[in-house]
Chains A and B, each alone.
Chain A
Amino acid sequence: MADVIDYEIFGTEMQYVEVELDPGEAAIGEAGSMMYMQDGIALETVFGDGNQQGGLFGKLLGAGKRLLTGESLFMTIYSNQASGKKRVAFAAPYPGKIVPIDLSTIGGTFICQKDAFLCAARGVSVGIAFQRKLGAGFFGGEGFIMQKLEGNGLAFVHAGGTLLKRDLAPGELLRVDTGCLVGMQPSVDYDIEYVGKIKTALFGGEGLFFATLRGPGTVYLQSLPLSRLASRIFAAAPQRGGSREEGSVLGGLLGGAALGGLLGGDDE
C-alpha cells in the first residue's frame, strides 16, 4: 500500500503542492522539483522510484529505463522521521495546473506524458510505457516514451496552461491536438489520426495530426503544451536556431542540416 498523504495546492497559474506527511510517511519527487521541506524530513536519493525489487539488476534496469525517458536517473524520497506531521512542497516547473490523481480510484494505473510527473506518495511506482503505435510515436508530440504511474496512492502530475478533465463514455471519441494530451486511464484507446491532404502534411502543418482518444475512461488535457510555449518564445527570440515545428517530422528531416550532414564529410 502506498502512504496515504494529505495535500494542499497553492497558487493559481504557478502552482505548488504542499504534501503533509505523518510520522513515517514519505513522498517521492523528481529530483529538482522540491520547493521546501520542514525540519524533520529526511532526504534520500535513490535509483528509480525506490520501488525496484530484485536486487542490483532490477535497480539497474529501472535506472536504464529512466535514462531512456530522459528523466533524471534519481528520484528523491522525502520521509518524515520526526514525531509530528511535517510538510514538503513541490513546485510546478512552468505555468499550469497541478493535478492530483488518486490511483486507487481510477483502477491503479495512469499513463501520462513523460515530463508530466511531479511527485507522489511513496509506494507509487513511476515507470515508462512505450508507445507501440508508430503513428502515435512519431506524431504524438511526445515520442514513443510515456510515463506509467502505478499503485494505489496519490500522484501529482503537471499540466501546462489550463487543465481540462474529460470523462469519455464507452465508445466516445475525442480528437485532441497531439501536444495537448497530459494523460489518461489505460482503458482509453490512444492513436494518431491524420486529417487533411498529404501535400499539407509534407510542407508544414500544425493540427494535421490529431490524437484520437476513445472511451471509456478519463483523459486530462492541457491548453498550453510546454513545446508550444517554447517554440513561440524561441520564434520571438532575436537569434535563430534549429527550432522544429510541431507536428512536421519531414520538415525537420529535410531541414538541410540533417541530410547535409549525412551527405557531407568528404572522404578526403
Chain B
Amino acid sequence: MSVGALQSTALRGQLYGPGLAPAGVPTTFSASALGLEFNGDNAAVTAPTWHRLAWRHGGFNATQLIVEWTTDAGAYSLAVSDAAAQSVLLAHLAPATQVAAGPSRGTRTASNAVIAVLVVVPLLLIGLLVWQADRLIDWAVAKIPVETEITLGREAFAQQRTRLALEDSHPAAAMVRELGARLGRGSKYPYEFHIARDDTANAFAMPGGFVVIHTGLLARADSAEELAGVMAHEIQHVERRHGLRGLVHAAGWRVALSVILGDTGGSLAASWVENLGALRFSRSQETDADLQGVQALVRADIDPRGMATFFRKMAADGSAMPELLSSHPASEARFAEVEAAMPKGRVFPRLAYDYARLRGTTK
C-alpha cells in the first residue's frame, strides 16, 4: 500500500467490483465535493459524482452504508461499517439516490406480513392465555355440550368403577338415591348415586352426574341432614361444571379445542378421561359448591345446617378424617361463609329417615 493509505483523513471500507477479489478488498478512500477517490491499489477505480451514486443502509442489521455505481468495467459496491466514515459519506450523498434495502418490494411486504402474523399471533395467544385464562376457560367450558360431558363422565366413571367396591344394595342406598333426586330435581344431568365400601370419610362427583358416597362418610355423618349437606355440595360440583372446568384448566387449550370439535372418541380424549377421577377443585370452586349447595338444600326443604355441622365436625377431627377435606380444602373462612349463608328464622322439617340404622354398621 502507498503512504497515502495511512493518512489519518482516509476513510476505510470494503470495495467490491470487477477485477477485485470476490470477497472484496479492504480499501481506503477520501470523500470531497469532487466525489469519491480511492487510494493505493484501488486508485484506478473511479466513481461518478455524488448525485449519481445509489446508496442504502444494508448488510447485517443494516449496519453498513453501501454505495453502488456502475462503470464501463462493471458494477461496484463500497461497504462502509465505520460510523464516522458513514457520516462523512452521508454528508455528500444525495437523498434522492437512496434505494430501498432488501429484495423486491412486493414480495417483501407480503412475506413480512406472514412472518409478522406468525410471530405475533402465538405471542398474543400466549399473552391472552396467561392474562385471561379464567375467561378463556369459562368460554371453552361453555362450548362443551352437556351430552359430551355426560359421555365423558360415563367413560371416566366406568374406568373408576373397577377400582370401587360399589354397594348398591346397601341399606342406605335408597335413602341416598332419594336425597339425590330431591337435590338434583330439574337438573339436565341424569344423576347416578352410588355407595362404595371405603372406610375413608369421603364422597366425590364426576362430570355428567356420577356421585359416589363412601361408607366411611355414611358412618361419620350423624343425620340424614348431614349426609344431604355433603351430597348437595357434590351435586353442585356437577351442576356448576367444576370438574369440566378443572379439566380444561389442566389439559389446556389444545384439548379444549378437540372437545369443541366433538372429538371425544379420539385417543386424545381417552388419555385424559383417566385423569377425571383424580380431579381436584380449587378453593373458589369449593366455596361455590358450598353456597350453591346451601341454596339447593333450602329449595329441597332440607335443613342446610347439616352441611355446616358436618364440615365443622370433619375439620375438628383433624387427622382422623383428612380425606374429604384434603380433596375439598377447608378453612375457617370457608366455614364462616357457609354459616353466614344459612337462612335465618326458617324452620325445616326433619328428614324422616332412621339414619342411625340405615347408615350401617361401619364404625
By a CB distance below 8 angstroms, the chain B residues around A105 are 21, 23, 25-26
Over the window 201-221 of chain A, the binary record of Cβ atoms lying under 8 Å from chain B Cβ atoms (1 yes, 0 no) is 110000001001011111000
> With A188-B60, A214-B102 given, is the CB distance from A268 to B119 under 8 Å?
no
Over the window 102-116 of chain B, the binary record of Cβ atoms lying under 8 Å from chain A Cβ atoms (1 yes, 0 no) is 110001100110111
Q: How far is the CB of A223 from chain B (nearest CB, A)?
A: 20
The stretch among A25-33, A63-71, A164-172 that forms the contact with chain B is A164-172
The verdict on B331 contacting chain A, using a C-beta distance below 8 Å, is no
The B-contacting residues of A in range 99-122, CB under 8 angstroms, are 104-109, 111
Which bracket fits the contact residues of A?
Answer: 35 or more
> With A267-B282, A268-B280 given, is the CB distance from A104 to B77 under 8 Å?
no
The verdict on A77 contacting chain B, using a C-beta distance below 8 Å, is no
Which bracket fits the contact residues of B?
Answer: 35 or more
By a CB distance below 8 angstroms, the chain B residues around A193 are 103, 107-108, 111
By a CB distance below 8 angstroms, the chain A residues around B280 are 266, 268
User: A250, B282: Cβ atoms under 8 Å?
Assistant: no
CA distance A217 to B249 in the complex (A): 53
CA distance A139 to B122 in the complex (A): 14
By a CB distance below 8 angstroms, the chain B residues around A104 are 26
By a CB distance below 8 angstroms, the chain B residues around A42 are none
The verdict on A253 contacting chain B, using a C-beta distance below 8 Å, is yes
Secondary structure class of chain A's binding surface, majority of residues: mixed
Nearest neighbor of B140 in chain A, beta-carbon distance:
A263
The verdict on B63 contacting chain A, using a C-beta distance below 8 Å, is yes
User: A260, B252: Cβ atoms under 8 Å?
Assistant: yes
User: A253, B126: Cβ atoms under 8 Å?
Assistant: yes
Number of A-B residue pairs at CB separation under 8 A: 179
The A-contacting residues of B in range 104-158, CB under 8 angstroms, are 107-108, 111-112, 114-119, 121-122, 125-126, 129-130, 133, 137
Q: How far is the CB of A173 from chain B (nearest CB, A)?
A: 6
CA distance A83 to B249 in the complex (A): 71
CA distance A203 to B106 in the complex (A): 25
Nearest neighbor of B16 in chain A, beta-carbon distance:
A216
23 contacts between A and B (CB under 8 A): A106-B23, A108-B26, A129-B61, A139-B118, A170-B77, A186-B60, A187-B14, A187-B58, A188-B59, A189-B59, A189-B60, A191-B102, A194-B115, A195-B111, A209-B115, A217-B24, A218-B23, A218-B24, A250-B122, A260-B252, A260-B254, A263-B251, A267-B284
Q: Measuring CB to CB, which residues of chain A are less than 8 angstroms from any residue of chain B?
A: 104-109, 111, 129-135, 138-139, 167, 169-171, 173, 184-195, 198, 201-202, 209, 212, 214-218, 249-250, 253-254, 256, 258-264, 266-268
The 6 closest A-B pairs by CB, nearest first: A167-B22, A187-B79, A107-B14, A260-B252, A216-B16, A170-B77
